[in-house]
Amino acid sequence: MKCISRATALCWLLVCLLTPALHAAKGPKKSKKDQLVTVSTSQGDIKLILFDETPQHKENFLKLAQSGVYNGTTFHRIIENFMIQGGDVNTKDADPSNDGAGQPNEKTIPAEIRPEFSHKFGAVAAARQGDMVNPTKASSNSQFYIVQNHSGTAHLNGGYTVFGQVISGLDVIDKIAAQPKDMRDRPTTDIKMTVKVEKLKKKKITELYGYTYQ
């Protein structure tokens, strides 16, 4: 029987000890698929993806979308060269005065503000109450906005959670922002949305829409 030298035995011991640590250092295996969100409106379809790096916001948005909460809500606030805002369940009722107010005692989502996600054209971000009553910058449970300014809205960076990006339908954002509105920036004709979620391979999303995953 061939004997193993002490040096060889020590090498094998080091390999056994270090292998689990090396696997752990790589982190969890990334999924090859992602959820593609389609927001359908009278002005056309907006397609967007949500960031894994903002997991609470992604999970919350997908939950609301898949359960049908967003269906029938409207983009209730539009400001050309700035953004379009929607997702408030109040916009489903017949009273326009409460649009944007949200529900009483509505839960919030802890801020997930990350420096790598900026308010560029097509960025999807969470609306929230102001700093005076919301110093932690916690996000609204359902309301979101999409940046329409083609140069971005850099002054909002660091203040609101950006959790997604429009990858198709940027022209639709422009069309919505340009609609007639009243003194409260509410469109004079309701711009209702229907939201659908489908799971696709990331490779397919890149092929179809040119979005490159990091």
Residue 15 lies in a domain: no
Can you give the pLDDT at residue 5?
Answer: 56
pTM: 0.85
Strand partners for 196: 38
The CATH number covering residue 161 comes to 2.40.100.10
Q: What is the mean pLDDT of residues 131-157?
A: 96
Can you give the pLDDT at residue 98?
Answer: 64
Total domains in the chain come to 1
Residue 191 lies in a domain: yes
Residue 205 lies in a domain: yes
Residue 134 lies in a domain: yes
Q: In whole numbers, what is the pLDDT of the chain averaged over residues? A: 88
Residue 12 lies in a domain: no
The string of pLDDT tens digits covering residues 75-122 is 999 999 999 999 998 888 776 766 666 666 778 999 999 999 999 999
pLDDT at residue 16 greater than cutoff 70:
no
Residue 120 lies in a domain: yes
- Of the chain, the percentage scoring pLDDT greater than 70 comes to 83
| Spatial separation of the C-alpha atoms in residues 61 and 89, rounded to whole Å | 13
Name the CA radius of gyration of the chain, rounded.
22
Residue 214 lies in a domain: no
Largest Cα span, the chain:
91
Domain that holds residue 162: 33-98+109-209
Residue 173 lies in a domain: yes
Alpha-carbon distances, residue 21 vs 12, 15, 24, 25, 26 (angstroms): 15, 10, 5, 6, 9
Give the sheet arrangement for strand 123-126, strand by strand. Answer: 75-79, 83-86, 144-147, 123-126, 162-168, 44-50, 33-41, 194-201
